[in-house]
Chains A and B, each alone.
Chain A
Amino acid sequence: MAAFEEITKKIRQSAKTLLESGRVQTVIGFRTASTPLNAAPVFIRSAEDCDKLIWNSFCRLNLANYLPGREGKVALVTKGCDARSAVGQVSENQFLRENLYLIGVPCSGMVDNQKIEAKEPRPIVEVEESDGVITLKGQDFSTSVKIEEVLRRNCLTCSNRTPKLADELAGPETSSPAADDYSDLKALLSKPLEERMAYFKELIKDCLRCYACRNACPLCYCPVCFVDETLPQWLGKSDDPTDTFIFHLLRGFHCAGRCTACGACETACPVNIKVREFNRLMELSVETNWNYSAGLSWEQKPPLTVFQVDDNADFIK
């Protein structure tokens, strides 16, 4: 694993070259955030601003989210999962390949702030990172935490940490852990319907319908989301649990076969809902039925948008 300083340096160099040569007009990457345990999206348009770009274990968001509808040529700083999302958007005709340049960062996993807070609940003012260790500093303490102990759930089962389709890599390839075996969801699926329902209802009970999950998601680019439709209005706006449930359920279905497990939804969620459970369920189904994973080639089309004569059609009775 290359040190983050090396990766940062490489990203800045690439950004500079791309902007100076006119290959792109904007580089979308991460900058240092004003709050600890965080990194923020930044839009760089000139070579002298490239030094704002950084890389660390908090670059959790998926910047492909900013692509649909964007004008001009763009370079995107991407982890493995984000690159897959960008590739997916190209294959879904949301962005032109020739307008896109992917600066891929071989990822070593991003950290989960909840896991950090479980280890250090006191207010953290400053964070330092080196050699796989995060040092959390507060007013009168300094605590070290191993990054591998606080990785996000999705990063622990990511089989595409190196963005192989990127136009260039900002560091040496990283090895990926074993893919998600969905064992917990398979166990859940073997339970009676009521139990499954209870599990998902419990999962979303704190939801505020702020839609941060949807808005942080690179798949949710619909000009008008079904929850915002007014003619007719498909969904109630109150805190009625059924309406909230339908939002999550339908969003899950809409993302089927397209999710790359980037975890941006869970990162954005202000009440820490494991939103991805709905998407995982869909991915399990798509992988089982069509042996398909999103964003692994520029040419492949999402299975639910194409027809093949040998498609599994067992569900048609």
Chain B
Amino acid sequence: MTEYIVKESNLTEFFQAVSQNRTLLSPVGQGEKCRLEPTTPDKIKLDFANTHLSPKASFFPQTERLLAFHKDKSLPNSNVYQDLGDKAQDCVLFGLRPCDAKGLTVANKVFQNDRFVDPYWKGKYEKALKIGLACLKPSPQCFCAAVGGSPFGEQGLDVLAYVKEGGLGLKTLTEAGEALIKSTKAESASLSNEIQKLEQEAYGLQKAEKDSYKVITERDLMEVYNDPHWPFTAENCLNCGVCTFFCPTCHCFDIQDEQSEKGGVRMRNWDTCMSSLFTLHASGHNPRPTKVERVRQRFMHKLKYIPIKQDGVFGCTGCGRCVVMCPVNIDIRDVAAKMCRPTQTAKV
């Protein structure tokens, strides 16, 4: 849509303007402590790599209480579940990396589609204006280019910002984003040449080759599923939940009821396909009895099933969190490379 610049000296004023009547969320803290949290306009960081946890928790918290009841018979509606409702407030997110913004769009299609609309996700997702921050220096584990993304990716964002000499460059991408930036003192500018140049440079800094895993989406589903490498790929997996909990697109949850003598609550909690319990049936049967099936499920879901359901878009956005966090170095880039072509022998 339109391009703008904000001078370095006006940044605090700019963040004040965009967060007028809204909560401002942005990465705070260093390194492992870097989290997306409510903050103030004067504390915006521009020099972070990415948040430790993905931003999904802001829309899909690890525990979300959905319904509650009380047991006090002297009051109305005792022992009847009441909707706790959507308490989402207007907010603006500054500093979403393009991989994470794209990750939210993948999850968004799971929570809002022509079959279901999840009110808890919808409320939070739609009340958030999203300003991305392009990656000028991708981290060593980044590979967004390989899965159809870009360090300057625009999906899921209302505005894309980037750090430029003397301040911020901005490109508005939606009407809401345009209205937001127009309400500030940002100056119009023509930035498309600079953006194109910086994007190419940032691509160059990534080790990943553009669209190198695209061939997975073209292969026969059962052929990828039945490849003999899976038992070996899964062999060192601990079946912990690190990859799924850190993933910006993993969205599986478990509904639980808890009660005390006073009342009860129905909630949903993050779940993980790495856990044996995830697929354990009430009968005792488990369709994914070993870690081989579970590990295959995770990668098939990211790189095969989601593309089938979401027009070829991968369920992995190349943020690299699982690559770094996996305690046993199961590297999704290696697994994706194996999924690109038939494995010749069982040996890996």
> A-side interface residues toward B, CB under 8 Å?
33-36, 38-43, 45-46, 49, 61, 65-66, 114, 117, 121, 123-125, 139, 208-212, 214-216, 228, 230, 236-240, 267-268, 270-272
Contact = CB atoms under 8 A, between A and B. Distances in A.
B241 interface: yes
Given A35-B323, A121-B31, A272-B32, A239 B63 contact: yes
Given A43-B235, A210-B242, A237-B269, A125 B328 contact: no
B236 A41 contact: yes
A34 B331 contact: yes
Contacts of B240: 210-212, 214-216, 268
Interface in B284-298: none
Nearest to B207: A125
Given A125-B140, A212-B327, A267-B327, A238 B269 contact: yes
Contact of A211 (B62, B63, B140, B241): B241
Interface in B326-340: 327-329, 331, 333-334
A128 to B, nearest CB: 15
30 contacts: A35-B140, A35-B324, A35-B329, A35-B331, A36-B140, A40-B328, A42-B236, A43-B232, A46-B347, A61-B328, A123-B49, A123-B137, A123-B139, A139-B137, A208-B241, A209-B241, A210-B241, A210-B242, A210-B272, A211-B275, A212-B238, A212-B241, A215-B239, A216-B238, A230-B277, A236-B256, A238-B63, A238-B269, A268-B327, A270-B245
Contacts of B334: 34
A293 B332 CA distance: 39
Interface of B: 30-32, 49, 52, 62-63, 137, 139-141, 232, 235-236, 238-242, 245-246, 254, 256, 258, 267, 269, 272, 275-277, 280, 323-325, 327-329, 331, 333-334, 347
B316 to A, nearest CB: 15
Contacts of B280: 230
Contact of A271 (B32, B238, B329): B32
Contacts of A42: 236
Given A215-B239, A216-B327, 10 more contacts: A34-B333, A35-B331, A49-B347, A121-B31, A211-B275, A215-B238, A230-B280, A238-B267, A268-B238, A270-B245
B144 to A, nearest CB: 16
